[in-house]
Structure 1
């Protein structure tokens, strides 16, 4: 696949709905609310939903909901013809003014800045989801979580699976498990169909693990990581899987890992990117037997394997950086293994 030349091409590539998604939208009843739509995933997810509606030829509204503290994202969504609603989901009065839709994707939450502001993180990741789960009790809900609710595991394990017992490290991951339990509780209480997505890590070229590694190499800085291995998933595939997951919401709640097919080595990826870029590699990776690794076999059974594999993503990422492609300056901190964000 050709590397996009600019952000317009990148946005359209990421938001291209699969044929499976278009067919699903033809039979999916009701409108869709995307809560937390101004985040780095929410923008492209909203556009993909819009494109799927258009290609399916159905009359379905897409509502992009966020505080919109950054107006640039809201402007972008409205340029794409997506209806935006400014709302602080922690404010119940504002929440109760939102349209009740049959379908909801919940992506609001807090990660970075947790260390030192733990109370706010718990409010955003547990209290706010409880308000939304109660308000949308008659909806179908796909809620974002994280693979960080699992313990760190070795490469030989093949990655954590959905039936593994959560052992979150640090308050961010603990609060994410709290968010899961809140949605699980309301799913049982109100018979709300819910699916919890445990994602790590999406790749958009403007951000992601590959961007974190590639930028260091291009700027001739040392690549330092506390973990040896990681998973990635093309953002377009993450978006497709998220929207298709609306068809797998259940009560009690369903759990689903989404990531790529491979367990990647930081060393191997860095060496390949340095070779493409023509740069000397300076790498520091302490011996670390465990990492956050997910096994997405269940998701592949639902949706098929990703459309873009890791080797192609590595090349695209290197070329994007080399041609001066924009960076969002939102590092994943994939290298963190102590739960502190």
Structure 2
């Protein structure tokens, strides 16, 4: 992949499983919070997978005019506005299928009130507004506690243990959807994702960039999970078929538990440099076990070993980056 267009095509390419699932999906699809890092390619993937008669509508404040223009050229309808505005939320079209992606993570430590409004109040509003829809609500593995690396990661039945206000508010988001799922018999999948990665951002890009720039890499959070964003998009859309009452929990990530040290060494070899490390690996990390998702959808199509040379080539050719660090090394829950 040499261009952004090639990358976005790959990230929005529907899998055979998604194409098959969407043959039986009835009605239009509404993507709420579609203006973030994943929303545009997910919306385009949905458009590519659904028959032309079924609408895909992307809703967001949108940080620039370019994103909705790009979506419109791909056949995705767009609506710009503030989801926290009751009048705006009320006038959105009723859709039987919703992907809910709205949320606030970075800046949550400086803006705790806004974090709770976006991550807890808004989900309650959306769940009340669309009681008859099938909803996939994006969540995060941050709702889990740190666990021993040797454990293989938390499974869906493990009790939550969020660290910090951001993670606590994400658990609050889940609780709102769970409450209204039971109250209104709304079918919901809670999509616990960590971490999606592509060539412009993600933990793999963070580590690669530090190695490339000869910057020190903190080993304290020594291990992590990751999934190619295209695979995450596919699984999110396919999770509409799994939505249930009560809300279904689903861990979504790759099957590998990746060592930060090992990853840095792979990039160092590709770049012809020596990696610089600080700190020491902890015995625990924020890890999820995706066995249930893999049982439903199969293994991700793109592995970590495939992503590494893609990211290295992208950096060496000066490819566009989002310059939005994941702060994967954070262990205190402050973002």
RMSD, aligned α-carbons: 0.9
* 1:289 paired residue number: 283
Matched, 1:220 2:214: yes
Q: What corresponds to 1:38 in structure 2?
A: 35
Distance 1:20 1:312 in 2: 21
Distance, in Å, in 2 between the alignment partners of 1:225 and 1:49 is 38
- 1:218·1:277 contact (CA, 8 Å) conserved in 2? yes
Give how far 1:58 is off: 4.9
TM-score for both structures, normalised by structure 2: 0.98
The match for 2:5 among 5, 8, 13 is 8
SS of structure 2 residue aligned to 1:27: coil
Contact (CA 8 Å) 1:107, 1:143: kept in 2 or not? yes
Deviations 1:274-317 (A, max 9, x none): 10111221111323111111100000111000001111111111
Q: Distance in 2 between matches of 1:79 and 1:59?
A: 16
Distance apart, 1:225 and its partner CA: 4.0
- In the alignment, the residues of structure 1 paired with residue 191 and residue 224 of structure 2 have an alpha-carbon distance, to the nearest angstrom, of 18
Residue 225 of structure 1 contacts residue 336 of structure 1 at CA under 8 Å; is this kept in 2? no
The aligned residue for residue 278 of structure 1 is: 272
Query: In structure 2, what is the equivalent of residue 134 of structure 1?
Result: 128
Matches within 5 A, 1:1-341: 4-53=1-50, 57-341=51-335
How far has the Cα of 1:23 moved from its partner? 1.3
Is the partner of 1:261 in helix, strand or coil?
A: coil
Any gaps of 5 or more consecutive residues in structure 1? Answer: none
Cα deviation digits, residues 107-132 of structure 1 (max 9, x gap): 00000111121111000000011110
Number of equivalences = 335
For 1:225 and 1:190, the matched residues in 2 are separated by: 46
Question: Is there any run of 5+ residues in structure 2 with no aligned partner, and where?
Answer: none
Deviating beyond 3 angstroms after TM superposition, the runs of 4 or more aligned structure 1 residues are: none
TM-score between both structures, scaled by the size of structure 1: 0.97
